[in-house]
């Protein structure tokens, strides 16, 4: 192989690497948009994050929905303005199956204040998601999480805090 051919090959490889890095950043940005819309209750906008045939498996599969409209309606119903939420995800592990299909794990920390019930909830979980590149744009294809822990308390009685779920518990 000549020097020019080697340089051309290296250029092709670098272009692929740059595309992959841009895809990783696009998926991170998509997750950021999803979380911002979730906590801001931007239900019309959050739908832009999903494939039309998205499926969910929230809370270890207890909350499963199919299709963008059904998922958005779930959020609209279960997260009224009286529920103040903060969802934070970090440390993504993103892998690609192809140029148009990717998977990721994200660590979730969430805090909720349910004003209508005067209840607080705090938890941790691991999101597992798949993404599909549709018309050049990454969308969430499947999304769900498994809790590592959940804690709830009556906000009038902070001593009432109790762990309601622990993935390491033998019970």
142: nearest Cα among 60, 71, 70, 55 = 55
User: What is the β-pairing status of strands 50-57 and 83-98?
Assistant: unpaired
DSSP letters of 147-159?
Answer: EEEEEEEETTEEE
The first and second tokens of residue 94, run together, are: 């993103």
Q: What is the pLDDT of residue 165?
A: 80
> Contact, 24 vs 94, CB < 8 A?
yes
Query: Where is pLDDT greater, at 85 or 60?
Result: 85
The more confident residue out of 167 and 6 is: 6
Model pLDDT for residues 72-110, shown as the tens digit of each residue = 999 999 999 999 999 999 999 999 999 999 999 999 999
Helices assigned H by DSSP within 41-121: 43-46, 68-78
- For 110-155, the pLDDT digits (tens) are 999 999 999 999 999 999 999 999 999 999 999 999 999 999 999 9
């Amino acid at each position: 192989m000549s020097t020019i051919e080697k340089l051309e090959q290296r250029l092709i490889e670098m272009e692929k690497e740059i595309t992959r890095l841009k895809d990783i950043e696009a998926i991170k940005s998509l997750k950021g948009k999803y979380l911002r819309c979730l906590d801001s209750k931007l239900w019309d906008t959050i739908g832009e994050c999903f494939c039309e045939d998205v499926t969910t498996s929230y809370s270890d599969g207890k909350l499963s929905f199919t299709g963008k409209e059904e998922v958005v309606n779930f959020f609209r119903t279960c997260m009224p303005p009286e529920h103040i939420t903060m969802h934070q995800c970090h440390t993504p592990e993103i892998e690609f199956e192809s140029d148009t299909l990717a998977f990721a794990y994200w660590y979730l920390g969430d805090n909720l204040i349910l004003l209508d019930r005067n209840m607080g909830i705090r938890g941790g979980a691991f999101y597992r998601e798949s993404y599909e590149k549709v018309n050049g744009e990454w969308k969430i294809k499947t999304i769900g999480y498994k809790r590592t822990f959940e804690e709830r308390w009556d906000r009038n009685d902070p001593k009432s805090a109790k762990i309601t779920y622990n993935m390491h518990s033998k019970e």
